[in-house]
Amino acid sequence: MSPGCAPRTDPPAPLPAPIAVPVTITPPADLLRCADRPAGLPEDPALVAQIPTRARAGIIRLARAFGANADQLDRLVEFVSPGACHPTPSASSPKD
Amino acid sequence: MILLKGLFAKLKAELAFVVLLAVASAGAVLYVRAERAIADRDAVLHRAELICKSAGIDFLSKRPRVADGVDCGTRVQQLAEWKGEAERQTAQLMAQALADNAARQARDNDAARRAAEAAKSAALAMEKADAEAERRNLVDREWFAAVNHVAGLRAPH
C-alpha cells in the first residue's frame, strides 16, 4: 500500500441490504381499455325489413366477429389488470 | 561376546563424536521440518490474501489491536449473509409470481369458458332466427335481437 493512504480505523462498513424487485410489464393505459360496446341494432317490434340473404349473412359475420373480438379484448385486459372489465358483458352487461 | 565388547569399547572411546552425530541428525530433521512449516505458512498466507482480496478487504489488518484477517472474515460473513438474504427474497418473489400467474390463468380459463358458452348459445339462436327470416323473407325484432346477442350488444333505447 502506498504511504499516502490513510490507515483505515473502522471495521468494514456493513453491506447494503439486498432488495429484490419484481419486474412487471405495464402496458400503456390506452391498451388496457375494455372493449367498446355501443348500442346495437334497434329491437323494435314495429321494425321489420327485407334484407337480402347475403347482406344478412354479412351482418351476422360482423356481429360474430365483433363479439369474439370484444370478449377477447376484455379477457386480455382482465388478465393484465384483474377486475378492470366485467368479464362477460354478454352475460351481465353494465350498459343498456 | 568378545566382538560386542570390542564395539562398546570403541564407542566409549568415540563418545563425543557419537553424541555430536546424534545431535546433528536431530538438528537436520528439525531444520527440514521447519523449512516445510515455513513454506506451508507462506502458502496459506498467500492464499488467505488472495481470498480476502477477492472479497475486497486486505488480509493484513490496518487497524491497531485488530488481528490480521478479522475484518476480512467479517466481510466474508457479510457477503454470505447478503447472498442468503438475496436468495431468500428472490425465492419469495418467484413463488409469489408463480402463484399470481396461476391465479390469472385460472380466472382467464373461467372467463374463456363463460364467453365460449355464451357465444355458442347466441350462435344457435342466430341460426334459428336467420332460418326464420329466410323463410319469411323478412327480418323482425327477433332477428335483430339475435344479431345483438351474437355481438354482445344491447339495443338502443
Instruction: Find residue A49's DSSP bridge partners.
Output: B139
Domain span at residue A80 reads: 50-96
Which pLDDT value is given to residue B75? 92
Q: Which of A47, A60, A72, A79 to mutate to test the interface with B (most CBs of B within 10 A)?
A: A60
The pLDDT, as a whole number, for residue A1 is 46
What is the value of ipTM here, to two decimals? 0.72
All three cell numbers of B95: 413463488
The answer for B 106-135 residues in CB contact with A (under 8 A) is 107-108, 110-112, 114-115, 118-119, 122-123, 126, 130, 133-134
Quote the CA–CA distance of A70 and A93 in Å, as a whole number.
Answer: 12
Read off the pLDDT band of A7 (50, 70, 90): low
Vertex B126 angle, CA B121 and B130, to 5°: 155
Q: Per-residue b/e over B97-118, b at no fewer than 16 CB within 10 Å?
A: eeeeeeeeeebbeebeebbeeb
Residue A90 lies in a domain: yes
Tell which A residues from 39 to 58 touch B, by Cβ distance under 8 Å: 39-45, 47-51, 53, 56
B113: its cell numbers: 369458458
Looking at the 3D structure of chain A, how many domains does it have?
1
Residue A15 domain-assigned (yes or no): no
Distances (CA, A) of B35 to A17, B30, B41, B47, B49: 46, 9, 10, 18, 21
* Any domain includes A91: yes
Taking only the tens place, the pLDDT of each residue in A28-80 is: 999 999 999 999 999 999 999 999 999 999 999 999 999 999 999 999 999 99
CA A77 – CA A75 distance, rounded (Å): 5
- Do the domain assignments include residue A11? no
**Model pTM?**
0.68
* CA separation for the pair B2, A52 (Å, rounded): 145
Q: Residue ranges of chain B with pLDDT lower than 70? A: 1
For residue B97, how many C-alpha atoms fall within 13 Å in the half-sphere facing its CB? 12
Q: What is residue B157's DSSP assignment?
A: -
Q: How many CA atoms lie within 13 A of B87 on its CB side?
A: 6
Q: Which of A:55-84 have CB within 8 Å of B?
A: 56, 59-60, 62-64, 66-68, 70-71, 74-75, 78-79, 82
Q: Is residue A32 part of a domain?
A: no
Q: What's the pLDDT score for residue A2? A: 47
Q: What is the pLDDT of residue B114?
A: 94
Q: Residue B82: what pLDDT?
A: 94
C-alpha cell at B28: 537436520
Return the residue in A25, A79, A85, A90 with the most chain B beta carbons within 10 A, the one to mutate for interface testing: A90
Nearest-CB residue to A60 (from B58, B62, B147): B147
Confidence of residue A88 (pLDDT cuts 50, 70, 90): very low
In the chain, the amino acid numbered B43 is: A
| A95–chain B Cβ distance below 8 A for any pair | yes
Q: Could B108 and A75 be called an inter-chain contact, meaning their C-beta atoms sit closer than 8 Å?
A: yes
Q: What is the model's pLDDT at position B64?
A: 84
Nearest alpha carbon to residue A81 among A69, A73, A89, A91 = A73
Q: Which of B85, B71, B70 is nearest to A16 (CA)?
A: B85
Angle at A28 between CA B98 and CA B91, to 5 degrees: 20
State whether residue B137 sits within 8 Å of chain A by CB.
Answer: yes
Identify which of A87, A95, A94, A75 has the alpha carbon closest to the alpha carbon of residue A32: A75
Q: What is the pLDDT of residue B28?
A: 96
A94 inside domain? yes
Please check whether residue A40 lies inside any domain of the structure.
no
Q: Where are the alpha helices (DSSP H) in chain B?
A: 2-13, 15-55, 70-136, 141-151
Q: Is B156 on the interface with A (CB under 8 A)?
A: yes
